[in-house]
């Protein structure tokens, strides 16, 4: 379980996140939506250790993340993708994935969901990377330089990189942004395939059709605060949400 416990983040005089508490349960897909500037990426950046919190705690399976360096947060089982793709353009796709491999000390159920081996040797790690690429339909791109790929393919490599780390929590920051309809449908299937009992999934998105069809719970954020929280049906019918966001 991933928990944001009364988290605040200020950038100078700007309060980007104001006393926000979220509970993200494993086994379900939790969407976080809200207009630009609501603070969605800031939540991801704090969880992953890119930004320090101003106050509050972030817990993954009861481990406090908020003061840990990035690599320890990754080892604790948190993976993220970036709203703006961040691959090593000069490395191959497989090399980009190998960078994300972390020591496997914990049993990770995502192994079952994605057909990964339980082992830990280098050969098995390599084979895991290939398995994930295959599941995402991009096995043929393994030896290509990341920088030479089409945008939609790069988005999938970002997702693959987050998966091979065998996370307990995965935070996807606008994975569908810039994708065409066909690519978005494909992504939807991949996100649904990620659902596994031990994995907490956070999906930040603007594509409401995607959100409504894959998420189990939704948090709506606006101006650094949680405006509403509930099932897709409840959120769809929430007048305050319609006024603040959906109807815009």
Which one of 3, 22, 31, 40 is in contact with ligand ADP (CB under 6 A)? 40
Binding site for Mg ion (CB under 5 A): 40-41, 83
Q: How many CA atoms lie within 13 A of 105 on its CB side?
A: 5
Regarding 50 and contact with ligand ADP (CB under 6 A), the answer is no
- What does 124-178 look like in DSSP terms, one character per residue? HHHHHHHHHHHHTT-GGGTTSBGGGS-HHHHHHHHHHHHHHT--SEEEEESTTTT
Regarding 53 and contact with ligand ADP (CB under 6 A), the answer is no
Which of Mg ion, ligand ADP, none lies near 80, with the C-beta cut-off 5 to 8 A by kind? Answer: none
73/58 Cα distance (integer angstroms): 11
83/177 Cα distance (integer angstroms): 8
Which of Mg ion, ligand ADP, none lies near 149, with the C-beta cut-off 5 to 8 A by kind? Answer: none
Regarding 49 and contact with ligand ADP (CB under 6 A), the answer is no
Residue 110 exposed, middle or buried by CB count within 10 Å (0-12, 13-18, 19+): buried
Nearer to ligand ADP, 36 or 105 (CB): 36
Which one of 42, 66, 79, 238 is in contact with ligand ADP (CB under 6 A)? 42
Which one of 26, 27, 37, 152 is in contact with ligand ADP (CB under 6 A)? 37
Regarding 168 and contact with ligand ADP (CB under 6 A), the answer is no
Token code pair at residue 97? 């994935």
Tokens 């790069």: give the residue. 154
Binding site for ligand ADP (CB under 6 A): 11, 14, 16, 34, 36-42
């Amino acid at each position: 379980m991933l928990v944001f416990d009364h988290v605040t983040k200020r950038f100078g005089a700007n309060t980007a996140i104001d006393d926000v508490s979220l509970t993200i349960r494993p086994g379900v897909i939790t969407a976080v939506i809200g207009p630009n500037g609501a603070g969605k990426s800031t939540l991801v950046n704090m969880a992953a250790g890119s930004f320090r919190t101003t106050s509050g705690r972030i817990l993954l399976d009861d481990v406090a993340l908020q003061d840990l360096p990035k690599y320890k947060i990754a080892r604790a089982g948190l993976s993220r993708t970036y709203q703006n793709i961040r691959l090593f353009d000069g490395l191959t796709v497989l090399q980009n994935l190998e960078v994300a491999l972390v020591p496997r000390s914990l049993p990770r159920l995502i192994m079952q969901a994605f057909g990964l081996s339980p082992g830990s040797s280098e050969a098995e790690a390599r084979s895991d990377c290939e398995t994930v690429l295959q599941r995402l339909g991009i096995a043929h791109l393994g030896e290509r330089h990341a920088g030479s790929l089409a945008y939609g393919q790069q988005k999938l490599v970002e997702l693959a990189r987050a998966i091979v780390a065998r996370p307990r929590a995965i935070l996807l920051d606008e994975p569908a942004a810039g994708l065409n309809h066909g690519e978005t449908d494909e992504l939807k299937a991949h996100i649904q395939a990620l659902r596994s009992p031990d994995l907490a999934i956070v999906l930040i998105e603007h594509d409401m059709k995607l959100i409504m069809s894959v998420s189990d719970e939704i948090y709506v954020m606006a101006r650094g605060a949680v405006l509403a929280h509930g099932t897709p049906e409840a959120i769809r019918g929430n007048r305050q949400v319609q006024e603040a966001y959906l109807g815009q």
